[in-house]
Chains A and B, each alone.
Chain A
Amino acid sequence: MTENSTKIKVCIVIGASHAGVNFAFSLRKEGWEGAIILFDKDPTLPYHRPPLSKAYLTSNDTIEKNALKSLESYEKSNITLNLGVSVNSINRSEKNIILGNGTIQAYDTLVIATGARPIIPPIKGIDTANTMYPLRTAKDVDDIRTAFNKSIDKRVVVIGGGYIGLETAASLKKMGGKVTILEREERVLARVTAPEMSHFFQRLHTQNGVDVFTNKNVTGIDTQDGVHTIRCSDDSVYEADIIIVGVGVHVNTELATQAALDIKNGIQVDTTARTNDQDIYAIGDCTFHYNPHYDQFIRLESVQNAVDQAKVAAMAICDKNPIYDAIPWFWSDQYDIKLQMVGLSTGYTDTLIRKEEGENTKFSLWYFNGDTLLAVDAVNNAKAYVLGTKFIKENKKIDKAKLVDPSVPFKPVNLLVD
């Protein structure tokens, strides 16, 4: 045997969150016998991010309760977890990476799962606003909780009415905060849902005592004696003890860019999650990939995408020829409302609302392009969500008149065009 074939292969993963961790365990399951080494600059045992703005924020739990996997399970699967270590660069010609402390680590296969980081918008005075927080990491939540508990007046301004902003507002309200949301667009969730859904959520927050203002472009923050004065372009002014920013993310493509990998709106990968370097894969929030069902190139920020793409990459590396062909899904929990979404609504021509008899907060919004069902947003309605999932997957044609008729029971047989 040559030296090369007896040497244990090494798979390095940069980023140990939803994508990286699920990848590592899937790779082991698919039969990879070599080393699997994860690196993450976050020192905390990898955890679920969705609860950060939801149940975890309002609880007194420690982050360990939200761990993706126990420490022992990494050991059992012989996965090496290096936390609190950043990766500084990738050297493709030598097939190695350089860590923050200068150490060089060689790889046979490299997986980039670097995700995304919050945008801190260039608002005048934002860098001197001491109690201003994004919400992406466990530490962000700890900082928010600490500041919130210390604050006497507990006035919170949330800049940005996307999912994270809305969820954080709901959680801080529940904790006793006086919460205001400032959204730049004319409605909340403008980029991700149809107007009906935006209006539903805006009303929900208002009913729960959160002030929601739209068309508010924040232009300056002035901090004095721990109080922030937030100014908008229409000269309106809001005061806050704590500011939360939730205005979107920057994709962490720097390592890939510096290594001259193909980048579009994220790291470009094929349907097996491979980059233009045959030994380098990329998965999760950081990827720009093709979705066969919708015949579109997309970048997603969701657990579904992180986990499913991780599995695809693991299979591909173990020569199982997978194709990434998933219908995206997502959820959001605010107050006692559970929103479940499936599909991609981009390019919809019309929407229909299905209400349920005798229920005010249980309905679903169906997005169509002509006769083709693209996506469903289901509010407190898991049934609509699973039906929508099935119809989208199977390209079923739906009888729209029956769909919106609450007296027609919600069963596949009743709703399909024969």
Chain B
Amino acid sequence: MAKITFITSDKETIIVEGTSGSVMQLAVDNNVQGIDGDCGGVCSCATCHVHVAPEHVEKTGKASEIEQDMLELDDNVSEYSRLCCQLEISDQLDGVVLTVAK
């Protein structure tokens, strides 16, 4: 079980709990604005871009090569960027705060 906090671009804070599946699916199921997940979670659409709170990068890990490549030319990319379809929900993610990218 992991409690995950999303902060949307309208500064809305949504706290949800998940047990399995991807963080993208959790966000989509809870209508988190700005996370669309159009490709269903296969790193093809980049509509699931979030910034991990710097202090939580340890829990999520860094973006993989394909995530970095997909985001390379994105105006809002940062060293904390992740495509959250690549984050599997597990106890390890408990407490992470993710800001939805613009």
Contacts and interface: CB of A to CB of B under 8 A. Distances in A.
Interface of A: 22, 25, 29, 48, 50-51, 54-55, 65-66, 68-70, 72-73, 76-77, 303-304, 307, 329, 331, 333, 338, 340, 381-383, 385-387, 389-390, 412
Interface in B5-39: 21, 28-31, 33, 36, 38-39
A73 B29 CA distance: 6
Given A29-B33, A65-B21, A73-B29, A386 B73 contact: yes
Contact of A303 (B21, B31, B38, B73): B38
21 contacts: A29-B33, A48-B40, A50-B40, A55-B42, A66-B40, A70-B28, A70-B29, A73-B31, A77-B31, A303-B45, A304-B45, A329-B45, A331-B39, A338-B43, A382-B69, A382-B70, A385-B69, A385-B70, A386-B72, A389-B73, A390-B73
Contacts of A29: 33
A22 B45 CA distance: 15
Give chain A's interface secondary structure class: helix
Contacts of B39: 50, 303, 331
B44 interface: yes
Interface size for chain B: under 10, 10 to 19, 20 to 34, or 35 or more residues? 10 to 19
A115 B73 CA distance: 33
A412 B40 CA distance: 29
Given A307-B36, A307-B38, A340-B44, A76 B31 contact: yes
A383 B40 contact: no
B42 A331 contact: yes
A304 B36 CA distance: 11
B53 interface: no
Contacts of A65: 21
Contacts of A51: 40, 42
A307 B44 CA distance: 14
A76 B30 CA distance: 9
Interface string B68-96: 01101100000000000000000000000
B29 A333 contact: no
A29 B66 CA distance: 31
Nearest to A389: B73
B24 to A, nearest CB: 12
Nearest to A71: B29
Contacts of A54: 42
Contacts of B31: 25, 73, 76-77
A331 B42 CA distance: 10
A68 B30 CA distance: 12
B73 A412 contact: yes
Contact of B69 (A25, A66, A76, A386): A386
